[in-house]
Amino acid sequence: MSVTTAKLASMKAAGEQIVMVTAYDFPSARAAEKAGVDMVLVGDSGANVVLGYDTTAEVSMDEMLTMAAAARRGTKTAFLVCDVPFGSTEVSDEQAVETAVRFVKEAGADAVKLEGGNPRRLSRIRAIVDAGIPVVAHVGLTPQTAVALGGMRAQGRTAETASRFVREMFAVQEAGAFCVVVEAVPADVVQLVLEHMQIPVIGIGAGAAHGQVLVQHDLLGITEGPMASFVKSYARLNEAFAEGIGAYADEVRSGVFPAGEHCYKSKPEALEAARA
């Protein structure tokens, strides 16, 4: 049975951990689905880990829609959340609704995720929820506007950012978000608000919460280079990829591949005709 917002709310109420992971295409979504995760997130982290951009702010609407539609085709029962790219909701509530509608209609999203909890962002959340599309909020470190936060750094460590974090948590819930992702906030600060939240809180670099999310390509070791301290590695797929392709390259160069079983067999008359 498909995961719904009601199911996620009841999991939170029952104290069952909600598992979320990102996916950006058909195989990564299918892997998440096979693993039985509750929520699949088409994160704009795909900008970095799949498309090779330096920041998430660079990914386009069309690129996000392509990734989202592919992930939808690989996601049967998990709840599919899509990040709206930077620039696609900033202008007005109307623009935000149009963007959210495109993710539902063109990609089959179950919900959209919006970064930020200032008054303008709250207005966007309300508008999209009013249009009948479930919204996941995202507070704490918000990569799309990280430059304005002073870089990719933890939030809620200073008095100012801690009180903003608490204020925004309650505000996004009040605005109608059915779930909130908290990124890079000290665990003890998160704990203070957790018991007062009616909606599920999904953490990433935020300690224990009602659930967790990680970037699939980080946890599988597809991503290379320095990673945030909150990432745990569960596999080393980039090594497996390079080993597999290396073995193929060796066999091509040495003539081991292709072998007889990789070749089509001709019919005698075809061979004769080809010779003539």
Chain residues binding Na ion by CB under 5 A are 43-44, 83
Q: Is 110 annotated as a binding residue?
A: no
DSSP assignment of the chain equals ----HHHHHHHHHHTPPEEEEE--SHHHHHHHHHTT-SEEEE-TTHHHHTT--SSGGG--HHHHHHHHHHHHHT-SSSEEEEEPPTTSSSS-HHHHHHHHHHHHHHH--SEEEEE--SHHHHHHHHHHHHTT--EEEEEES-GGGGGGGTSS--SSSSHHHHHHHHHHHHHHHHHT-SEEEEES--HHHHHHHHTT-SS-EEEESS-S-SEEEE-HHHHTT-S-S---TT------HHHHHHHHHHHHHHHHHHT-SS-GGGSPPPPHHHHHHHH-
Site string for ligand KIV, 118-157 (x = CB under 6 A): --------------------x-------------------
Residue 18, contacted partner among ligand KIV, Na ion, none, CB below 5-8 A by kind: none
Residues 157-216 that bind ligand KIV (CB under 6 A): 181, 183, 204, 213, 215
What, of ligand KIV, Na ion, none, does residue 33 touch, CB below 5 to 8 Å by kind?
Answer: none
88 binds ligand KIV (CB under 6 A): no
Out of 33, 83, 110, 168, which residue is the one contacting ligand KIV (CB under 6 A)? 83
Q: Which is nearer to ligand KIV, 192 or 228 (CB)?
A: 228
Annotated binding residue 115: yes
- Of 109 and 213, which CB lies nearer to ligand KIV in the complex structure? 213
Q: Is 218 annotated as a binding residue?
A: no
